A and B are shown apart, each in its own frame.
Chain A
Amino acid sequence: MTKKILLASTLAAILFMVSCKKEPAAPINESELITTLRLTLTDSATPANVYTFIFKDIDGEGGANPTIDSVKVPVGKTYLASLLILDERDASAVDTISNEIEEESADHQFFYQSTPTDVISNFNYLSFDDNGKPLGTEFKLKAKATTSNGTLRVTLRHEPNKSAAGVADGDITNAAGETDIEVEFPVQLY
């Protein structure tokens, strides 16, 4: 009797295990990955002079290291800057994340910081959200008059506190929120 019950339960369990289908689910299409930040600088005095610099991390977090261009522009000029954010994993179907950010402009804001602070200065927001608060996909900056090296940090905050002190003027200190992008470009003014 005991043996029969044991045998039956064993068989039932083995049958159950074997009968399971072992098939993987479909791969998950990542929808929120940002691979590329494209910074375009246009000489405000001579709009024909356009410079483009790219930060690209095609495989997302981990994996291969990102590639970062150096921002090499002539000294002493004022530039109109624009930022394009892309998901370029699939070259045939590039996703423009900038559109999503612009749709949710009230929940996003870009910040710019230069080290040393005088290498690039006079940052001015040129694009705004529906409430008239800065968004910053377009902005203006001024390059130092003498040949110099430094870095330019571009930060995108999600759900920042746009009404905190200084935030509307581009000061990141009180912005809070969550960082979606934080990229540092080396800068060489020639």
Chain B
Amino acid sequence: MLQKIFFIFIISFSLNAFSQNCTLKISGNIIDEHDKSNLDYANVYIQELEIGTAADSNGYYEFNNICPGKYSFIIDHIGCTSDTVIVNVTKSITKNFFLEHHAEELNEIITTTSRIEKESVQSTTTIDNKTLTKLEGKDLGNILSTIAGVNQLKTGTTISKPIIHGLYGDRISIINNGVKLETQDWGSEHAPEIDPFASNQIRVVKGVGSLEYGTDAMGGLVLMDPPQLQKNKHLSAAISLIGQTNGRGITSSAKIEQGFKSGIAYFIQGTYKRFGDQQTPHYNLSNTALQEGNLSVGFGFLKKNWEINTYYSMFNQQLAILKSSHIGNLTDLKNAIASDTPLIVKPFTYKFENPQQKTQHHLGKINIVHYFKNQSKLDIIYSLQFNNRKEFDIRRGGRSEIPALNLKLLSNNVLSTYKWFKQFTKKEVRLDGNAGINFLAKHNANNPETGIRPLIPDYYQYSIGVFNMEKISVKNFIVEVGARYDYTRFLAFKYDKQNKLDKPKFNFHTYAIAAGASWKNNKENIQLQTNISYSSRFPNASELFSEGLHHGIAALEFGNQLLKPEKGIKWTSTVIGKFRHYIQTEATFYITKINDYIYLAPLPEPVLTIRGAFPAFQYYQTNARLIGFDITSKFKLFSFFSVDLRSSIVRGKNLTAKDNLIYMPSDRISTYFDAHYSFKKIKNVHLGLNVQHVFKQKNTPTQIIDYKATPNAYTTLDVDAGFEYVANEKNKIGFSVSAENISNAVYRDYLNRFRYYADELGWNLTFRLKYSFL
């Protein structure tokens, strides 16, 4: 049946292929407004058509086969404030664009406005706006796992943490609009508190990346970019409505952006999401509802020599946790595992019951940018973040209304950077520098109302960091080196079982050193990148102090105050190859060696309590090594048909214990077949089929007992189809349907901690309707 539809689809394409009348050519030069020189390699992007091109070395650009219409051209260039110009295209024209030239760091990865990947020595994958639109309604972990080498560590169906190259939690930094997200990410059942709808694009750097954010991101960086504040940008708005069958959920989101000639610009974005219990192929997952309400606002003054940007974002989430996963002791866990279906299955409901989590995250930011006459730039970001996490448990004596865990984390961060560049008379040689200083003050407080000894104690953390990065570009060759040092003072207030106060103090010195090189040939169809970086991360509060019972996995966990910082060396090499327009391949190979890798090791004796005997774990350090390989290939077989191939492999070893590391992603391969075509009024008509195969994880640790055998390999099939109706140059309506797990496959995933209790989700239909006003 599917094949038939597909066939008809293709036929209808070929019939309509000749009805197009879009043959206009737009070309011209990008010129510096001050000295009238041509600006080389500027980017030109047509917003409405979502196409972009880069000017050549003489500043010349051209677009071919453009339909008549009114378009917004966004022009940006390294060292310039980007500009938007509206052009009414009725015939083939020559259009020159003028830009104000400032110094802007080549390596600048935060305020980049370019829709086309900027040159980097790091392996960076961008999920652009178009792809994000296709994935609207999904959580961050799900969206990121579409990238080869990125996986998710899940707790049930609603909690997902990204894993980059086998590392997760504190070893990954999430950067929201230039600010490192400070959350309670020490818990594996704590998902990052961030709304993907607030971002225009998401980038993943599979390496230490920019040293601006710390010394600890040995796994990688996730950069979330909100809409860019732009001068002279006409009012645009978008409204999305999404419905899903599994969980009978609805998600809605709206966004408005505008920029005035005076330099005032703003955007407002909001999301609401709600769904009830989700379903596996055979049963309801009782108590898996979710509700979310998020808001983000940006406001800025953009002047010739300076900019002030302010940003506020709020994240509010309530999520219920699978009832059958709440267990009291090892006997309960064994009973739950022995049963093929969860022990508690009730009819569908939107209601929330305990256990559940309520989380809130607020982020406020003020960013002052000053451009100097010598084209250098000073950038100061002050940010304040407040994170509140409440976890509710099934309790006795009417205490279920009182959270069992109530943590408040307040973080203050000041990041000042100074960026400069020097262009040598021979235009091919350019030197870029970026130096900065970073202060961080954090306070974590337990609310005593819980009536339960806290999992982690109250603490204060103060850090000061300095960093410097230098980059030299010679023709097609770029070399970058950088270093960062952080001093952290960590003060904790821990009560022992007799309520005696202990005040452990720690001083941590952490470093990061990074060096990388990138080369591409003159035809720009081969690019090589290689990086080596040293990074270090000090133990977090959970690793130092945690003490208590984890209900989801029936294990006692103990911190270890003798832990030292982890030190990792990661070597990454990437090859990017293009063969005309037909084939594009990116392959990344990496080795990460971590000394004093912090992990939970089982204690030899179980601990006897009044609830029975529990296996006990304590944080220890070992030497670990991860080796992996990711590949992404795109084959454009016809102008209307492409095939994407993605695959990743990673192996993690505990070198001291001569064992495998726990929670390593299993090997996987996925193929996406995509047929797409644009008509005059109906654009981006597409039909896609994604086939993903996940192999069984055979390299599990032998020294840590797993209560249930590793799940088998599985294959899932997803289909998506949609189109955009362009009413006129100002109004556009997009509609799409995607069907996930269409074969209703019953499977469990090794990286889902609830695989002990229940299957993964059954089939789901998602309907997406998006109206955009440009």
Contact assessment for A62 and B448 in the assembled complex, using a CB-CB cutoff below 8 Å:
no
* Complex Cα spacing A55 to B416, Å: 60
Chain B residue with the shortest CB-CB distance to A56: B610
Contacting residues, chain B, for A28 (C-beta < 8 A): 446, 448, 450-454, 495
Contact assessment for A27 and B495 in the assembled complex, using a CB-CB cutoff below 8 Å:
yes
Contact assessment for B460 and A20 in the assembled complex, using a CB-CB cutoff below 8 Å:
yes
Contact assessment for B331 and A182 in the assembled complex, using a CB-CB cutoff below 8 Å:
yes
With A24-B458, A63-B497 known as contacts, the answer to whether A180 contacts B380 (CB < 8 A) is no
Contact assessment for B610 and A66 in the assembled complex, using a CB-CB cutoff below 8 Å:
yes
Contact assessment for B610 and A55 in the assembled complex, using a CB-CB cutoff below 8 Å:
yes
Contact assessment for A180 and B397 in the assembled complex, using a CB-CB cutoff below 8 Å:
no
Contacting residues, chain A, for B497 (C-beta < 8 A): 59-60, 63
Most buried by B among A14, A22, A157: A22
Question: Counting CB contacts under 8 A, is B680 at the interface?
Answer: no
Contact assessment for B611 and A25 in the assembled complex, using a CB-CB cutoff below 8 Å:
no
Chain B residue with the shortest CB-CB distance to A103: B397
Q: How far is the CB of A63 from chain B (nearest CB, A)?
A: 6
Contact assessment for B437 and A10 in the assembled complex, using a CB-CB cutoff below 8 Å:
yes
Contacting residues, chain A, for B132 (C-beta < 8 A): none
Contacting residues, chain B, for A29 (C-beta < 8 A): 448, 451
Chain A residue with the shortest CB-CB distance to B335: A176
Contacting residues, chain B, for A183 (C-beta < 8 A): 610, 612
Contacting residues, chain B, for A100 (C-beta < 8 A): 396-397
Contact assessment for B460 and A179 in the assembled complex, using a CB-CB cutoff below 8 Å:
no
Contact assessment for B380 and A178 in the assembled complex, using a CB-CB cutoff below 8 Å:
no
Contact assessment for A65 and B443 in the assembled complex, using a CB-CB cutoff below 8 Å:
no
* Complex Cα spacing A115 to B418, Å: 74
* Complex Cα spacing A87 to B662, Å: 38
* Complex Cα spacing A170 to B329, Å: 19
Contacting residues, chain A, for B558 (C-beta < 8 A): 62
Q: How far is the CB of B608 from chain A (nearest CB, A)?
A: 6
Question: Counting CB contacts under 8 A, is A162 at the interface?
Answer: no
Contact assessment for B610 and A178 in the assembled complex, using a CB-CB cutoff below 8 Å:
no
With A25-B445, A31-B399 known as contacts, the answer to whether A62 contacts B452 (CB < 8 A) is no
Q: How far is the CB of B500 from chain A (nearest CB, A)?
A: 9
Contact assessment for B549 and A61 in the assembled complex, using a CB-CB cutoff below 8 Å:
yes
Which residues of chain B in 556-578 are interfacial with respect to chain A, using CB atoms and an 8 Å cutoff? 556, 558
Q: Which of B327, B370, B460, B616 contacts A178 (CB 8 A)?
A: B327
The total number of A-B Cβ pairs within 8 Å is 143
Contact assessment for A9 and B446 in the assembled complex, using a CB-CB cutoff below 8 Å:
no
Q: How far is the CB of A56 from chain B (nearest CB, A)?
A: 9
Q: Interface code B402-433, partner A: CB below 8 Å = 1, 0 otherwise?
A: 00000000001010101000000000000000
Chain A residue with the shortest CB-CB distance to B402: A31
Question: Counting CB contacts under 8 A, is B493 at the interface?
Answer: yes
Contact assessment for B611 and A182 in the assembled complex, using a CB-CB cutoff below 8 Å:
yes
Question: Counting CB contacts under 8 A, is A13 at the interface?
Answer: yes
Contact assessment for A60 and B609 in the assembled complex, using a CB-CB cutoff below 8 Å:
yes
Q: Interface code B440-481, partner A: CB below 8 Å = 1, 0 otherwise?
A: 010101101011111000101010000000000000000000
Which residues of chain A in 107-124 are interfacial with respect to chain B, using CB atoms and an 8 Å cutoff? none
Contacting residues, chain B, for A66 (C-beta < 8 A): 608-610
Question: Counting CB contacts under 8 A, is B547 at the interface?
Answer: yes
With A27-B499, A57-B609 known as contacts, the answer to whether A9 contacts B414 (CB < 8 A) is yes
Q: Interface code A89-106, partner B: CB below 8 Å = 1, 0 otherwise?
A: 000000001001101100
Question: Counting CB contacts under 8 A, is B332 at the interface?
Answer: yes
Q: Interface code A1-34, partner B: CB below 8 Å = 1, 0 otherwise?
A: 0100110011011101100101011111111101
Q: Which of A20, A59, A104, A179 contacts B441 (CB 8 A)?
A: A20
Q: How far is the CB of B527 from chain A (nearest CB, A)?
A: 35
Q: How far is the CB of A32 from chain B (nearest CB, A)?
A: 6
Contact assessment for B441 and A35 in the assembled complex, using a CB-CB cutoff below 8 Å:
no
Question: Counting CB contacts under 8 A, is B548 at the interface?
Answer: yes
With A6-B437, A22-B460 known as contacts, the answer to whether A181 contacts B396 (CB < 8 A) is no
Question: Counting CB contacts under 8 A, is B326 at the interface?
Answer: yes
With A31-B397, A180-B328 known as contacts, the answer to whether A13 contacts B414 (CB < 8 A) is yes
Question: Counting CB contacts under 8 A, is A158 at the interface?
Answer: yes
Contact assessment for A24 and B397 in the assembled complex, using a CB-CB cutoff below 8 Å:
no
Q: How far is the CB of B361 from chain A (nearest CB, A)?
A: 21
* Complex Cα spacing A136 to B491, Å: 48
With A28-B495, A30-B452 known as contacts, the answer to whether A61 contacts B607 (CB < 8 A) is yes
Contacting residues, chain A, for B556 (C-beta < 8 A): 61-62
Contact assessment for A182 and B329 in the assembled complex, using a CB-CB cutoff below 8 Å:
yes
Q: How far is the CB of B611 from chain A (nearest CB, A)?
A: 6
Q: How far is the CB of B105 from chain A (nearest CB, A)?
A: 15
Contacting residues, chain B, for A97 (C-beta < 8 A): 396
Contact assessment for B547 and A62 in the assembled complex, using a CB-CB cutoff below 8 Å:
yes
Question: Counting CB contacts under 8 A, is B439 at the interface?
Answer: yes
Question: Counting CB contacts under 8 A, is B372 at the interface?
Answer: yes
Contacting residues, chain B, for A101 (C-beta < 8 A): 396
Contacting residues, chain B, for A6 (C-beta < 8 A): 378, 416, 418, 437
Question: Counting CB contacts under 8 A, is A37 at the interface?
Answer: yes
* Complex Cα spacing A27 to B458, Å: 10
Chain A residue with the shortest CB-CB distance to B450: A28
* Complex Cα spacing A88 to B503, Å: 27
Contacting residues, chain A, for B460 (C-beta < 8 A): 20, 22
* Complex Cα spacing A180 to B503, Å: 32
Q: Interface code B482-498, partner A: CB below 8 Å = 1, 0 otherwise?
A: 00000000010101010
Question: Counting CB contacts under 8 A, is A159 at the interface?
Answer: yes
Q: Interface code B141-178, partner A: CB below 8 Å = 1, 0 otherwise?
A: 00000000000000000000000000000000000000
Question: Counting CB contacts under 8 A, is B394 at the interface?
Answer: yes
With A25-B445, A62-B558, A178-B326 known as contacts, the answer to whether A104 contacts B396 (CB < 8 A) is yes
With A14-B439, A61-B549, A100-B397 known as contacts, the answer to whether A25 contacts B493 (CB < 8 A) is yes
Contacting residues, chain A, for B382 (C-beta < 8 A): 9
Which residues of chain B in 319-333 are interfacial with respect to chain A, using CB atoms and an 8 Å cutoff? 326-329, 331-332
Contact assessment for A176 and B416 in the assembled complex, using a CB-CB cutoff below 8 Å:
no
Contact assessment for A20 and B454 in the assembled complex, using a CB-CB cutoff below 8 Å:
no
Q: Which of A20, A24, A63 contacts B493 (CB 8 A)?
A: A24
Contacting residues, chain B, for A178 (C-beta < 8 A): 326-328, 332, 394
With A9-B380, A63-B497 known as contacts, the answer to whether A37 contacts B458 (CB < 8 A) is no
* Complex Cα spacing A66 to B694, Å: 45
Q: Interface code A151-162, partner B: CB below 8 Å = 1, 0 otherwise?
A: 000010111000
Contact assessment for A179 and B610 in the assembled complex, using a CB-CB cutoff below 8 Å:
no
Chain A residue with the shortest CB-CB distance to B417: A6
Contact assessment for B607 and A17 in the assembled complex, using a CB-CB cutoff below 8 Å:
no
* Complex Cα spacing A100 to B397, Å: 6
Which residues of chain A in 157-180 are interfacial with respect to chain B, using CB atoms and an 8 Å cutoff? 157-159, 176-180
Contacting residues, chain B, for A22 (C-beta < 8 A): 460, 491
Chain A residue with the shortest CB-CB distance to B460: A22
Most buried by A among B328, B344, B439: B328
Q: Please name 25 pairs of A and B residues whose Cβ atoms are closer than 8 Å in the assembled complex, sorted by A.
A: A9-B380, A9-B416, A10-B439, A13-B414, A27-B495, A27-B499, A28-B450, A31-B399, A31-B452, A32-B396, A32-B451, A37-B610, A57-B608, A61-B614, A62-B556, A66-B609, A104-B396, A157-B328, A158-B394, A158-B396, A178-B326, A179-B612, A182-B610, A183-B610, A183-B612
For the complex of A and B, list the 6 residue pairs with the smallest distance between their C-beta atoms, beginning with the closest: A24-B493, A179-B328, A182-B612, A31-B451, A13-B439, A178-B328
Beyond A28-B453, A61-B611: 13 further Cβ-contacts under 8 Å?
Answer: A2-B418, A5-B416, A12-B414, A28-B452, A29-B451, A30-B452, A32-B395, A60-B497, A61-B609, A63-B497, A158-B328, A179-B327, A182-B331
Using CB atoms and an 8 Å cutoff, list the residues of chain B in contact with chain A: 326-329, 331-332, 335, 343-344, 370, 372, 378, 380, 382, 394-397, 399, 412, 414, 416, 418, 437, 439, 441, 443, 445-446, 448, 450-454, 458, 460, 462, 491, 493, 495, 497, 499, 501, 503, 547-549, 556, 558, 607-612, 614, 616
Using CB atoms and an 8 Å cutoff, list the residues of chain A in contact with chain B: 2, 5-6, 9-10, 12-14, 16-17, 20, 22, 24-32, 34-35, 37, 55, 57, 59-63, 65-66, 97, 100-101, 103-104, 155, 157-159, 176-183
